[in-house]
Amino acid sequence: KKVLLIHGPNLNLTGQREPGIYGSDTLAAINAEVVAKCERLGMSCAVFQSNVEGALIDRIHAAREDCAAIIINAGAYTHYSYALRDAIASVRLPCVEVHMSNVHAREEFRHKSVIGPVCAGVIAGFGKHSYLLAVDAVKAIIG
């Protein structure tokens, strides 16, 4: 079974961007760990990052073809993109929402997720481990 790992805006700069909040591991290094963990658990993993809302939506739609679940860090789109929310609801694949930082301990605007209600669950606050824990979550859902 294939898992789609999606990263939204600014996450391409992970490792350089606000390292006090997001850590110093690059996105490529995190992706490699996630792919390896998926494979250890008998799943494959495709990775996609975009800073463009429509490109994220197109990738979610394409996941209908061959993916069994989605892990998504939608970045700031989490907090206001109804279009992304509707895309997730439209494909009816189980989706795990991820944040590296503890969004609830940060600014008020980060406390709300508009994608949360259409996701199976949320993991936030554990840095790169949020993604690795999401792989366990997906495994528990899709087996």
Catalytic residues: 22, 99
**Least distance (Å) between residue 143 CB and ligand DQA:** 27
- Which strand (E) or helix (H) includes residue 46? strand 44-49
For residues 59 and 65, which CB has a smaller minimum distance to ligand DQA in the complex? 59
Amino acid at 87: A
Interatomic CA distance for residues 109 and 9, integer angstroms: 16
Q: Does 75 bind ligand DQA (CB under 6 A)?
A: yes
**Among 34, 103, 118, 137, interactor with ligand DQA by CB under 6 A:** 103
> Judged by CB under 6 A, does residue 23 bind ligand DQA?
no
110, 126, 133, 141: which one binds ligand DQA (CB under 6 A): 110
* DSSP 8-state code for residue 120: S
Fill in the DSSP letter of residue 15.
T
Element (H, E) at 138: helix 128-142
Assess 30 for contact with ligand DQA (CB under 6 A).
Answer: no
By CB under 6 A, the count of residues binding ligand DQA is: 10
Given a contact cutoff of 8 angstroms between Cβ atoms, the answer to whether 83 and 53 are in contact is yes
Residues that bind ligand DQA (CB under 6 A): 10, 73, 75-76, 78, 99-101, 103, 110
